[in-house]
Amino acid sequence: MVNKEVEKIFGIETVNADNYKYALTHPSYIKDNDLPYTECYERLEFLGDAVLKLAVSNILYKEYPKYTEGQMSKIRSIVVSDNILAKIANEIGLDKLIIAGVHDTKQGIKKLESVTACSLEATLGAYFLDGKFHEVMNFLDKVLHEYIIDVDKNFEKFNAKAILQEYTQGLTKETPVYNLVESKGAEHNKTFVVEVSYRGEVVAQGEGKTKKEAEQHAAYSACEKLGAIKHE
């Protein structure tokens, strides 16, 4: 049973077994098997997203008593991104429990950040419905803490696109332009290469497992070259 595997990962007892199966079921599976919409992770993901944001907000509020609402919001937006949630899902082994349609499984959909991130949030939603809110909050407090500290200490790397845009607009009111120049590797394990240009000239290049990640790396390199980020 999927719920028993979830219990091993989270260390929290499950009650409604069906919800955990739904939480780990990609929409392609219910489409292939002509099942109701409610038997995939989308509704539970909606609920789990709220649980996750509350957990992160609680940690930030306690960890940084002098931070403004704006500062905490910026950190939270990065911590709850697909990139970080997917890393957590992979680290704890939740990605291995995802159920998807035959074709989509062959295409490597279970490895997509958006899919693993949604599955994690949906599982949190299932636990919430089981009345395990406090247990989940404790679990997230342990799992998310190091990521929150990392984002706070290395904010420029995580938020380089916004920093670069603010910097260039301050100079000339022009914004950076990102172009995908290459994608390499197998369909389920691609690496994307992106160039960022400013005023018609290529400033930097970045690579990543997603286009967004490649853009962030390119933006960070551009920030360093243009002096938008100052290193002590």
Residue in the structure block whose two tokens are 């172009």: 179
Q: Are 140 and 52 within 8 A, CB to CB? A: yes
Residue among 132, 93, 126 nearest 20 (CA): 126
| Partner residues linked to 182 by β-bridges | 193
Question: Using alpha carbons only, what angle is made at residue 106 by residues 105 and 112, rounded to the nearest 5 degrees?
Answer: 55
In the set 45, 82, 113, 121, the catalytic residue is 121
Helix H, strand E, coil C: the string for 102-157 is HHHHHCCHHHCHHHHHHHHHHHHHHHHHCCCHHHHHHHHHHHHHHHHHHHHHCHHH
49 carries an active-site annotation: yes
Residue among 131, 135, 129, 126 nearest 10 (CA): 135
In the set 49, 82, 130, 156, the catalytic residue is 49
Can you read off the two tokens belonging to residue 138? Answer: 């404790």
Q: What residues have CB less than 8 Å from 49, skipping those under 6 apart? A: 80, 121, 125
Considering only the C-alpha atoms of the chain, give the largest distance between any 2 of them, rounded to a whole number of Å: 59
146 carries an active-site annotation: no
Q: Which residues are catalytic?
A: 49, 121
